[in-house]
Amino acid sequence: MIFKTFIKRLFPRSFDNDIYNLTPKDLIIRKSSNHGGFKFGLALLIIIFLFAIFGPIILDVSPYEQDLTKRLLPPVWKEGGSWEYIFGTDGNGRDYFARILYGTRISLTIGFGAACVGMIIGVTLGVCAGYFGGWVDQIVSYLLTCQLALPGLLLAMTIVFLIGPSITVVIFVIGATHWAFFLVVSRSATQKIKNLDYVTSARAIGASKFQIIMRDIIPNTFSQIIVIFTLEVGIAILNEASLSFLGVGIQPPTPSWGLLIAEGKEAIFFQPWLIILPGIALFTLVVSINMMGDGLRDITDPNSKISEE
Amino acid sequence: MSDLLNIQNLEISFQSNNKNLKTVENFSINLNEKESLGIVGESGSGKTLSMLALTRLLPKQASVSSGSIIFQNRNLDELDNKNFYKEISGKKISMIFQEPMTALNPVHTIGKQLLETYLYHNNVSVEKGIERALEILDAVKLTKYKQRMDQYPHQLSGGQRQRVMIALALINNPSLLIADEPTTALDVTVQKEIIQLISDLRETIGMALIFISHDLGVVSQISDNVVVMKNGEIVEKGKTLKVLEKPNHPYTQGLLDCLFKLEDEQKKNQIKDTPIIKVKEISKSYKLPAKIFKKPEIIYAVKKVSFDVKFGETIAIVGESGSGKSTVAKIINGLINKDEGKVEIKGQNIEDIEISDRAKIIQPVFQDPYSTLNPIHTIGYIVSRPLTINQNRSESEVKEEVIKILRLVGLSEEYYNRFPNQLSGGQRQRVAIARAIILKPQILICDEPTSALDVTIQSQILDLLNDLKTKLNITIILISHDISVVKYFSDRIIVMYNGEIIEMGNTNNVINIPKDKYTKRLMSSVFSLKK
Amino acid sequence: MSKLKSLILTLLISLMFPINVFADKSDDTFVAAFSRELTQLDYHYGTKTEFLILGDMIDSGLFYVNREDLSYVPDIASDYKIVDDTTIDINLRKNAKFHDGSNVTADDVVYTYNFIVKNEKNRRSKKIKGWMESIEKTGTHSVRFKSKYPYANLFNDLYRIKIRKNGIMGTEGNWNDSAQLNELNGTGPYKVVSFDPGVEVVLVRNDDYYGGPKGKPAIKNVIIRSIPDMGTQQAELMSGGIHWMYNVKKDIGEAMAKTGKADYQLGPSLRVGFLVLDAGGYSGEGNPITKLDVRRAMNHAINRDSIAKNLIGGPAKAVHTACNPVVFGCFQDVKKYEYNPEGAKKLLAKAGYPNGFDLDLWSYRDKEAAQAMAEDLGKVGIKVNLKHGKLSALNKARKNREIRAYFGTWGSTASPDTATISNIHWRDPAKGDRNLSGDPKVNELMLGAEQTLDVEKRKSLYAQGLKLIADQAYWVPLWSYSEGVLSSKSIDFKLDPDGYPRLWNITWK
């Protein structure tokens, strides 16, 4: 496909047939260029990103401007629709296409932001627990049990309700309730790596614990962590949609997709596009992220071989 | 005597990149009944693949692209898979493998597995099957075989499991037994017993044997004829004694050279009498996690071990797995804390030495070339790291030093920017050695530095170590289970068993005139070439 | 074998789902849906309109609001005599009976009112205690009320208090608040058959009902189901599971009517909407809302007509007073703030906020209107952070004096007198948290208008009070609402001019 020729030109060395010539980075590029799911997910995600970043700049539409005389107009493909409002309007006469477009930014920001927060917490705890073991590990295991026992969505709702909803709060709350996977993966990876000879050798040459953790252990857990990261982005996006749907996430008039679905809920019989369109948007975004994540998991699997299509 | 097995021009190809890669070509062997054939080669030579083709156990991407296999005057190609498994595999031709733990099903008892195999191929009652199972377990000299019938694989030792695997293979009285490196994973003393067992059984049952190994010594003891493979092709064929005495092919000659080298006497280094390392009564024990209703078990890895290492000497610590030799090495290196005793390096207590100073005195070299280097660092970074951590030098100075050391271990400058996955096993071990010596330590601790390498590479690395020894005047502590390597390399030997030192002395003395019973057993297990 | 398995599985699964019996005209059963849950039966312990509707079906008060002209007519009472400003004699009808068969006597009435006043746990207590001096039995079927001052809204309270049987709520010092929560011995046109709190209540026509101004109901069985989700209500109406739903917005109602499956009526309602502003600075001294020009600017900024017409529809329209123009006492000649965003901006600049300011606006209903208003305010520079949540959260925040401005409404259900809305909103701040004006004169005027029976005096006091409120812009009065009802084609239901759904008057077509 076009993708592959493009990549081939960018990274010619990756496609050298002599495997011994490939650096680890080349190997990853080569394997990714062969993985259908990964390419599809990545392509879709890039399109969505471009939409989110440049859409609002290029297209002159406003998600906030209300026109109460133009409420609940149907999308262009339905009877009564027009090209002026491609996706119709909502109950306040706002351009629905604009609202969904701007909502992309919300979902992406919160998704990646929350996953980052979760990653920082989870990986820090996991690597410490895996490397130091002993009472550090016990404490971290206890924290993990607590985290897993708490009902995530309810806890998030409560905290947001107490502190007050805003994008930053939502990002931190979702991140702080979703670090369990990161911890488990980085902990077990650290335990495995800690016993490898190159870590022992680093100790022998006098590297400090900090240096060993930063230079030897964490970089080698990266491939596993990145897979968890992509999956958590999807989860965070859905979580935010749930919170906003329930009213304890993003506040109106900011167009979060979850909020759009909540607002359109009553009109499900007569203006179903109010729910269907943001639903499709959510679905598309999460599917693309998940496909990318699955692809990454296959690509970074140390036992996977390069298979040409 | 008619041919039992006749393989003509076997060719095995792998499907990859839409291309067919021929991994084995022109493979032809004849085997008579009751004949024993050895297939020798290094990793990648195709010795295992060719036999997998015979037993139809090739991996998915591989297939027989041409050639014929005729067994007992029957062309095996004519048999479909179903009939092959019913009539031939496990019945007339049996195979045993290297790793007995993965060959045995961990969730079934020994008895069940034996019974299953026997009853599949023979239409008899269960009682008869049990009778036969007991019979064969006795034949493989498995101790307490009656109780073993109800035990699971994990309750047996490595050697015992291998006996069970042999029993499984022989229970149906096959005409041909194929053994693929059956003893490589076992301790040396056990190795000898298993080889002896196979040899004896062959005589009693009267079956043919194909023995695959990389170990010329073992092959020379057990096979009448030998076939040498390299890169998927047979390079030499013939009666074992003749091939070993007068090999035709240079490759075979090369293999022999490696072995012979280890049999020669070696130059001694300049040894001073002053001890550089003093080990006094060190002990180390591990507590197993406590189980309910049981007191926590304590394993004594090292029990009151004492010895001195003289400046400039090479001392080898020899023992089987579980002897404690690696633990001693790690304690001396400061990587593990001892429970009792004293370790003095150059007169200083090891606890009193700063880590950065210690790094400049004593460095380790490990066994597994595939885990000894961090896969995401470049070679240059790996080798320069000891310098950047412990010394404050400019980037260019460091790079210069690294390139110098790389050349010293036989790697050209172009390896500086390469990654470990781009290097072969031998090259990686060279890098590990370079990393160990760049700080110019006075002591190197090599823990089985060559066990994971092919024979030819092994000898190269040992040569390198020898070379460095003389050039840099390093004291070396060598941990090994391979007596031939030890003989080639070291001045003194320490023999350990169960955490204690059994015997200690000059290499020649210990090897040729062992005092202790265990040492005697150990030394006699070494397979030297039948001359 | 597998076919049998799947058959058994299907049977088991289908048993998991309750089978809905669709009730309708053929078995004389009318099913209505309420959005908010009926958690108990006793009107004295609830305030929502839903409780009043149910209360009117199963209970009766001394008086009742007539549907034709919205005047107060005797119900359990047969007639009355105003003796003087603070005394009223009431005669009871002789044929009123409780659902258990016993007659209603003066003892029951006296007991009921004393219970209301003395037990502080019921929600009518404060209001009645405020004016009632005493009640005494003057005969087996007559009582005399004495009030502390001439109380103008007396009949509304005499309508709201439902008569309970003597002794049924316990005795003084030992009140049984839960006596009538889950089963009720009332006097109304319907009896309670079964009650599943929060789910549904099943009623049957009381054939011993005395008649009275409510009339005898035509339909025998009534089921009222609590269905909080508007979408589910629509589905039920379309499939025939319910016959009637109310509080239906214009968009949904018109769309449903178009499908031909139901009738939609959008009629007048007494409910009004408004923004309450913290003029008194309770949420922070010197905050922008305390400045008169700011409050006036807010009044100019909001396009009431557009919201009333486009979002609510029907007879809804902009109002400029702190009351619904159709009720008694709602004086209309007050300062009116026309929609004028430019003027608003100028006022803000004059007040010292040329670039506007940030404002937390609390709301709990009518999300679209709230967002429309937020947008309007935003256009003049007031950046609104819309805090749209549950009513309970808003009540709590208001109690804690955190609210600077909130969007509220008041139903004044079945009580066409300004007193109903002004009593609670302009009370002395020590007695309630809704009066944020910080102006004692408002309290004096607005509550004073309740404390006399002189109609002219009342009108004058309300006129002054409402003028003051408009002038000082203590509120931003918004609009009067419309009441939307969807009813199935098989029933005949007409909305009354006060928008109060009198379900006991429904008939089959």
Mean pLDDT in residue range A195-214: 90
Residue A169: phi and psi, rounded to 5, are -60, -45
Mean pLDDT in residue range B8-21: 81
Residue A129: phi and psi, rounded to 5, are -60, -45
**A206 and chain B in contact, CB less than 8 A:** yes
Closest CA to A93 of A258, A256, A274: A274
Residue A81 Cα, gap to closest chain C Cα (Å): 17
Closest CA to B528 of B488, B480, B479: B488
Evaluate whether residue C68 is within a structural domain: no
Which chain A residue is nearest to residue B445, measuring alpha carbons?
A204
Same domain, B251 and B279: no
Question: In this model, does residue B141 exceed pLDDT 90?
Answer: no
Question: In this model, does residue A308 exceed pLDDT 60?
Answer: no
Q: Exposure string (b/e) for B437-456, b if CB count within 10 Å is 16 or more?
A: bbbebbbbbbbbbbebbbbe
Evaluate whether residue B127 is within a structural domain: yes
Average pLDDT, chain B: 86
Q: How many CA atoms lie within 13 A of C259 on its CB side?
A: 18
- Residues C306-339: pLDDT tens digits? 999 999 999 999 999 999 998 888 999 999 999 9
Closest CA to C96 of C55, C59, C66: C59
Dihedral over Cα of B132, B136, B138, B144: its sign: negative
Give the pLDDT band (50/70/90) at residue A304.
low
Evaluate whether residue C240 is within a structural domain: no
Q: Which of A19, A21, A28, A201 is the best substitution to test chain B (most B C-beta atoms within 10 A)?
A: A201
Question: In this model, does residue C473 exceed pLDDT 80?
Answer: yes
Residue B125 Cα, gap to closest chain A Cα (Å): 45
User: Residue B317: beta bridge partners?
Assistant: B479, B494
Chains C and B touch (3+ CB pairs under 8 A): no
Report the C-alpha gap between C82 and C86 in whole angstroms: 8
Give the pLDDT band (50/70/90) at residue A124.
very high
CATH number for the domain spanning B495: value is: 3.40.50.300
Q: What is the pLDDT of residue B531?
A: 47
Q: What is the pLDDT of residue B267?
A: 53
Q: Which of A79, A270, A271, A276 is the best substitution to test chain C (most C C-beta atoms within 10 A)?
A: A270
- Residues C5-20: pLDDT tens digits? 777 877 777 666 655 5
Residues of C in contact with A271 (CB under 8 A): 251
Q: Exposure string (b/e) for B417-430, b if CB count within 10 Å is 16 or more?
A: ebbbbbbebbbbbb
Among B residues 146-175, those touching chain A with beta carbons less than 8 Å apart? none
ipTM: 0.80
Same domain, B245 and B281: no
**C252 and chain A in contact, CB less than 8 A:** yes
**R_g over Cα of chain A:** 23
Evaluate whether residue B379 is within a structural domain: no
- Please, is A222 exposed, middle or buried when counting C-beta atoms within 10 Å of its C-beta (0-12, 13-18, 19+)? middle
Q: How many domains does chain B have?
A: 2
Same domain, B255 and B307: no
Give the pLDDT band (50/70/90) at residue A1.
low
User: Residue C31: beta bridge partners?
Assistant: C223
Question: In this model, does residue B311 exceed pLDDT 60?
Answer: yes
Range of the domain at C412: 269-482
Final residue of a structural domain among B261, B296, B330: B261
Same domain, B97 and B155: yes
Q: Is residue B276 within 8 Å of B346, Cβ to Cβ? A: yes
Evaluate whether residue B433 is within a structural domain: no
Residues of A in contact with B366 (CB under 8 A): 197, 200-201
Give, in order, the Cα–Cα distances in Å from B158 to each of B100, B183, B288.
Answer: 7, 10, 21
Mean pLDDT in residue range B85-100: 86
* CB contact (8 A) between residue A247 and residue C249: no
Question: In this model, does residue A6 exceed pLDDT 70?
Answer: yes
CATH superfamily membership of A35-300: MetI-like (1.10.3720.10)
Range of the domain at B212: 3-261
Give, in order, the Cα–Cα distances in Å from B315 to each of B328, B352, B440, B461, B483.
Answer: 13, 24, 19, 17, 13
Closest CA to B165 of B177, B176, B175: B177
Report the C-alpha gap between C499 and C248 in whole angstroms: 12
- Residues B258-308: pLDDT tens digits? 776 655 555 555 667 778 888 888 888 888 776 677 777 788 888 888 888
Residues of A in contact with C252 (CB under 8 A): 266-267, 270
H helices present in B355-424, as ranges: 355-361, 379-390, 395-408
Evaluate whether residue B375 is within a structural domain: no
Partner residue facing C375 (CB), from A64, A91, A268: A64
First to last CA, chain C: 53
Question: In this model, does residue B106 exceed pLDDT 90?
Answer: no
Evaluate whether residue B391 is within a structural domain: no
Q: Which of A269-283, C131-145, C428-442 has the lowest mean pLDDT?
A: C428-442
- Please, is B299 exposed, middle or buried when counting C-beta atoms within 10 Å of its C-beta (0-12, 13-18, 19+)? exposed
Question: In this model, does residue A114 exceed pLDDT 80?
Answer: yes
Question: In this model, does residue C110 exceed pLDDT 90?
Answer: yes
Give the predicted TM-score (pTM) of the model.
Answer: 0.78
Residues of A in contact with C368 (CB under 8 A): 91-92
Question: In this model, does residue B148 exceed pLDDT 90?
Answer: no
Closest CA to C502 of C229, C194, C219, C253: C219
Q: How many domains does chain C have?
A: 1
Final residue of a structural domain among B261, B295, B321: B261
Q: Is residue B299 within 8 Å of B291, Cβ to Cβ? A: no
CATH number for the domain spanning C415: value is: 3.10.105.10
Q: Which of A163-172, B80-89, B291-300, C93-102 has the lowest mean pLDDT?
A: B291-300
Structure tokens at B220: 């020379």
Q: What is the pLDDT of residue A309?
A: 43
Same domain, B299 and B247: no
Evaluate whether residue B320 is within a structural domain: yes
* CB contact (8 A) between residue A197 and residue B371: yes
- Residues B373-403: pLDDT tens digits? 998 899 999 999 999 888 888 888 899 989 9
Percent share of chain B, pLDDT over 90: 16
Evaluate whether residue C277 is within a structural domain: yes
* CB contact (8 A) between residue A197 and residue B367: yes
Q: What is the pLDDT of residue B226?
A: 92
Amino acid at C445: L
Closest CA to B199 of B222, B216, B167: B222
Evaluate whether residue C160 is within a structural domain: no
Q: Is residue B150 within 8 Å of B111, Cβ to Cβ? A: yes
Evaluate whether residue B280 is within a structural domain: yes
Residue A205 Cα, gap to closest chain B Cα (Å): 5
Closest CA to C442 of C432, C421, C431, C427: C427
**R_g over Cα of chain C:** 25
Three-state DSSP class for residue B349: strand
Strand order in the sheet with C77-84: C77-84, C87-92, C142-147, C132-139
**A210 and chain B in contact, CB less than 8 A:** no
Q: What is the pLDDT of residue B455?
A: 81
Structure tokens at C20: 């809905």
Mean pLDDT in residue range C251-277: 91
Final residue of a structural domain among B261, B290, B305: B261
